């Protein structure tokens, strides 16, 4: 038998004959090549709950490049107000509030970050360690919506993403957001309001997902051990849906599990730097340095509407290309007073 014939028969048996035979016996075959995305580009859709890539990375097609400097300046009347443990970012038309974005105060504190026992993920990948956040911060009650995003950066979605106009609902959670899109929103909102609005660090995100200073019982997802309680999750969906369709977590935050996966400020770490970063107690961590990180990528959190249960876990970090253009990618904001 020639070597080429052997290779042909091996491929046929492995990828054509064997999978349906085993599947018929009630065992689904999942073939995973680590660090290689599937056709959707989302490794969270590509791995089983038992398999975790050494370097979970989400690489997909780049989005259309937006020259934010050339966009018409936003004329949106945006104001910030306070009330108790909340801040409100309000979009006005005249004296009528048309969009209200609520931010919830998360008080400083210490928590165990990483693959704690309830997370269902090996400690090898995200070693549990103590993290202290020394400053209070306000975090979005929901993910940023299409309407708020468009109003802040360029008045209308047509000016930012003309290709998305046909499937646009201003009340939906924003999708198709690259890291640069999210950061541009934060920069423009900060200038309009004269405050420091940013993406959360990965540690801030996880602390808030676990319930922040109000957490009592640790859960695998943001508010429950059953993601169907707290996550909009529909593998047939094509875009994040409205916010607040599921239960909130202990801190009062919605959709930290599912709906849209969320950008953070942390540079993406490779397997080696993650082990170092996750193996020591830290104060106000911001992830690996740019020099030690994966080039051109940041950490995304919470999974999205088609992610598997592993990637929806509170501790899971997904490395995402900064130019990732994908409907499931969104963000929420924080403000440090």
Domain ranges of the chain: 1-31, 43-335
Based on C-alpha coordinates, what's the Rg of the chain?
Answer: 21
Task: Give me the residues paired with residue 302 across strands.
Answer: none
CA 18 vs CA 9, 11, 14, 25, 67: distances in Å: 12, 10, 6, 11, 50
Give per-residue pLDDT as tens, 172-193: 999 989 999 999 899 989 988 9
Give per-residue pLDDT as tens, 202-213: 999 999 999 999
Specify which of 23-32, 38-47, 85-94 reaches the highest per-range mean pLDDT: 85-94
Planar angle of CA 32, 54, 261, nearest 5 degrees: 80
Whether 49 and 118 have beta carbons less than 8 Å apart is answered as: no
Give per-residue pLDDT as tens, 108-162: 999 999 999 999 888 888 889 999 999 999 999 999 999 899 888 875 555 566 6
Using DSSP, state whether 54 is helix, strand or coil.
Answer: coil
CA 229 vs CA 115, 117, 213, 302: distances in Å: 21, 20, 22, 14
Pick from 81-95, 278-292, 318-332: least confident: 278-292
Query: pTM (2 decimals)?
Result: 0.80
d(CA 79, CA 189): 10
pLDDT given for residue 169 in this prediction: 84
Check residue 324 and report its DSSP letter: B
Mean pLDDT (whole number) for 314-331: 91
Q: List b or e across 182-196, with b for residues whose CB sees 16 or more CB atoms inside 10 angstroms.
A: bbbbbebbeebbeee
**Topology at the third CATH level for domain 43-335:** 3.90.1580
């Amino acid at each position: 038998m020639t070597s080429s014939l052997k290779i042909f028969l091996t491929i046929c048996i492995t990828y054509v004959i064997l999978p349906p035979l085993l599947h018929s016996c009630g065992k689904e075959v999942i073939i995973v090549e680590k660090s290689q995305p599937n056709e959707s580009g989302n490794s969270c859709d590509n791995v089983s709950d038992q398999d975790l890539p050494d370097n979970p990375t989400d690489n997909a097609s780049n989005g259309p490049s937006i020259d934010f400097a050339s966009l018409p300046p936003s004329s949106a009347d945006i104001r910030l107000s306070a009330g108790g443990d909340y801040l409100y970012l309000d979009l006005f038309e005249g004296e009528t509030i048309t969009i209200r974005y609520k931010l919830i105060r998360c008080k400083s504190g210490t928590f165990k970050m990483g693959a704690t026992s309830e997370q269902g993920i090996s400690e090898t990948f995200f070693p549990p360690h103590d993290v202290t956040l020394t400053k209070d911060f306000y975090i979005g009650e929901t993910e940023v919506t299409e309407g708020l995003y468009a109003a802040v950066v360029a008045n209308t979605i047509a000016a930012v993403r003309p290709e998305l106009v046909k499937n646009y609902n201003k009340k939906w959670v924003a999708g198709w957001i690259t890291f640069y899109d999210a950061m541009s929103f934060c920069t423009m909102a900060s200038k309009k309001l004269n405050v420091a609005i940013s993406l959360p660090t990965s540690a801030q995100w996880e602390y808030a997902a676990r319930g922040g200073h109000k957490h009592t019982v640790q859960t695998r997802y943001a508010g429950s051990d059953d993601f169907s309680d707290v996550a909009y999750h529909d593998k047939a969906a094509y875009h994040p849906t409205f916010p607040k369709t599921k239960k909130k977590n202990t801190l009062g935050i919605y959709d930290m599990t599912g709906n849209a996966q969320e950008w953070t400020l942390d540079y993406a770490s490779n397997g080696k730097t993650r082990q170092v970063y996750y193996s020591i107690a830290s104060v106000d961590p911001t992830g690996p340095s740019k020099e030690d990180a994966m080039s051109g990528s940041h950490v995304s959190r919470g999974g999205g509407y088609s992610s598997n249960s592993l990637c929806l876990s509170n501790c899971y970090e997904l490395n995402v290309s900064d130019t990732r253009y994908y409907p499931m990618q969104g963000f929420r904001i924080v403000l440090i007073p």
